[in-house]
Each structure stands twice: as C-alpha cells, then as structure tokens.
C-alpha cells in the first residue's frame, strides 16, 4: 500500500504506506520527512540511528527528519504516515502538537507510544478514513488529511504525556519543556551549557534544572549531551569527516575535548566507534 498526496503549489507531501515496495522504502533515504511508524501486528524489527528497535503490536514510533530509519522490505505489520514540514507546518499549528512539539524535537531517543485499546480502535478507524480521503481528489483534500493527521498527533501527545507522568503539567509548563528542546535542536553545535539555554529562556540555570527534576523530566544537561552525541555518531557513521573535523563542526575548539566527551557518553573513542560500526 502506498497512498500519496503532493501539493505542487506549497510542496506539501503526505504519504501513507506499508513499506512493502521499493518506492516506499526509498522514502526513508529522503531528507526533511517526518515519519510515524505504527506496528499493526506482531513484532517488527527495524533500526533507528543504527540501533535495533523492536516495535510490538500497537506501538507507534515517532521520528524526525534527523533520525535515520531502516525498515526491512519483507515486513508485514507496519503502517507509516510520512509528511514534510510544508504539509503540516505551512500554517501556525497549535504549539503542543506542532512539528516541533513533544513528539518531534530531534531527541536522541525517538519516542515510542503504546496505544491503549481505545486508541487502537481509533487508529484503525482513522486508517480507513485516510484511505477513503485519498480517493477524493478535490481542492479540500489536503485540509482534510491535515485535520486527520492533527487529531492523530493530539492523541499521541496525550498518551506520551501520560506515559511520562506529565499529564498534570500546565500548557505553560509543557511549553517550557518544548521550547528548551527546540532551542537545543537549533543551537546544540555552538551552545553546550545549560546556562546558554537558560539565558535564551530568561531563566536561571538552577531554575531550569530544578523544574526538569521536579517534573521527572530528563535533565537539561543530559538532553544537550545526548543531542551532541547523537549528531557525532551520525557523522561518524554516515560521513567521511575525520574525528577532528567533526569536533570542530560540533563546536569544540580542541578535538581532544570532543574525544573525551564522546567516550564519556558512549564508552568508546570516536575512532573506536567508527571502526566498530563498519
């Protein structure tokens, strides 16, 4: 199955696919695409950023364009919703469910949501609605598909907030977490300290760290370090840049400082990591 929506005017792309054909799998290598992967049945093996991931029935994986995803051609239990920023973010969506919301912000660990029975039924029903809407080639088709996608993202956002015990956070509190993660995504190559982001958020570093700890959220420093390490691993695996070049690209004036950081994060030096990945 591969259902396509392309809008030439605004370059919006939205695709629903089962990844059982070459053209669909090719989408995984294209840039700037967000990917929602739903395991409909059984257990499906795939890799995200070089690490094995097993999706169980009624689990949904959310990946940003930065996440490198590989799915075997012979899978028979996956449905994926793929879209670009032009399709969903061509207008100012609600902050909590925007493309850079809790589900999509370049996290080093692509979030997985477990669907409850009600959400399982809802996802199945929405798949049927999506399939029906793809048959309507009128001028409001894009708006209908976008509205249905938004509902899916809102449902997933509610589930992930519950899973992370964030359901009691106010909109303002959730927005602070979201804004911090967005800023890290934008500036992690040149800003490595919590104080850098606290300044941008008009908070003190202590206030920011205490807020994350109080609400059982991954610490600000850990978010920053994991994002830098993720980019370093991607470059070591997928580019011909030397460790020294990567160090400079990630904002380290001294390659030795980067090497120490990388080993602390991964347990291996950059060269050891590259050697073991190939």
- As a whole number of angstroms, the distance between CA 123 and CA 177 comes to 27
Highest CATH level, class, for 171-277: mainly alpha
Instruction: Output the six-digit token pair for 134.
Output: 């793809």
Most confident of 17-21, 162-166, 217-221: 217-221
Per-residue pLDDT band at 90 (split at 50, 70, 90) = very low
- Residue 246: pLDDT over 90: yes
CA distances from 130 to 25, 81, 145 (A): 20, 10, 7
Per-residue pLDDT band at 101 (split at 50, 70, 90) = low
- As a whole number of angstroms, the distance between CA 51 and CA 277 comes to 10
Q: Name residue 151's beta-bridge partners.
A: none
- Average pLDDT in the chain: 84
Work out the average pLDDT over 127-137: 92
* Range of weakest confidence among 47-51, 76-80, 189-193, 226-230: 47-51
Give the pLDDT confidence score for residue 103 in this predicted structure: 72
How many CA atoms does the CB half-sphere of 268 hold within 13 Å? Answer: 12
- Residue 19: pLDDT over 70: yes
Work out the average pLDDT over 254-259: 95
- Domain 2-163 carries which CATH code? 2.60.120
121 class by beta-carbon count within 10 Å (0-12 exposed, 13-18 middle, 19+ buried): exposed
Work out the average pLDDT over 168-187: 75
Work out the average pLDDT over 176-188: 84
Work out the average pLDDT over 90-95: 47
Give the pLDDT confidence score for residue 91 in this predicted structure: 43
Each domain of the chain, given as residue ranges in start order, spans 2-163, 171-277
- Residue 207: pLDDT over 90: yes
- Which comes out higher in pLDDT, residue 208 or 186? 208
Per-residue pLDDT band at 97 (split at 50, 70, 90) = low
Q: Locate the DSSP E strands across 137-177.
A: none
* Range of weakest confidence among 4-13, 69-78, 95-104, 234-243: 95-104
- Which comes out higher in pLDDT, residue 22 or 138? 138
Give the pLDDT confidence score for residue 109 in this predicted structure: 65
Give the pLDDT confidence score for residue 126 in this predicted structure: 92
Work out the average pLDDT over 212-217: 80
- How many residues comprise the chain? 278
Q: In what order do the strands lie in the sheet with 33-39?
A: 2-7, 12-17, 78-84, 33-39, 59-63, 112-114
């Amino acid at each position: 199955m591969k259902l396509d929506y392309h809008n030439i005017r605004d370059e919006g792309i939205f695709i629903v696919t089962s990844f059982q054909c070459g053209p669909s799998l090719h989408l995984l290598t294209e840039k700037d695409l967000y990917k929602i992967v739903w395991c409909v049945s059984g257990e499906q093996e795939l890799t995200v950023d070089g690490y094995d991931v097993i999706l169980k029935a009624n689990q949904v994986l959310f990946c940003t364009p930065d996440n490198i995803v590989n799915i075997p051609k012979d899978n028979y239990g996956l449905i994926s919703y793929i879209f670009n920023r032009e399709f969903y973010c061509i207008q100012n969506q609600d902050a909590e469910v925007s493309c850079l919301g809790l589900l999509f912000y370049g996290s080093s660990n692509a979030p997985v949501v477990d669907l409850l029975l009600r959400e399982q039924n809802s996802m199945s029903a929405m798949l049927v609605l999506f399939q029906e809407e793809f048959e309507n080639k009128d001028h409001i088709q894009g708006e209908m598909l976008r509205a249905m996608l938004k509902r899916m993202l809102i449902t997933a956002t509610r589930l992930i907030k519950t899973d992370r015990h964030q359901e009691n956070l106010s909109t303002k509190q959730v927005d602070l977490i979201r804004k911090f993660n967005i800023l890290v995504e934008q500036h992690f190559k040149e800003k490595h300290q919590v104080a850098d982001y606290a300044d941008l958020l008009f908070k003190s570093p202590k206030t920011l760290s205490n807020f994350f700890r109080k609400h059982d959220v991954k610490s600000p420093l850990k978010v920053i370090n994991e994002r830098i390490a993720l980019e370093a691993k991607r470059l070591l695996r997928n580019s011909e840049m030397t460790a020294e070049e990567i160090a400079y690209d990630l904002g380290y004036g001294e390659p030795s400082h980067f090497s120490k950081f990388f080993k602390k994060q991964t347990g291996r030096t950059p060269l050891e990591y590259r050697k073991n990945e190939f």
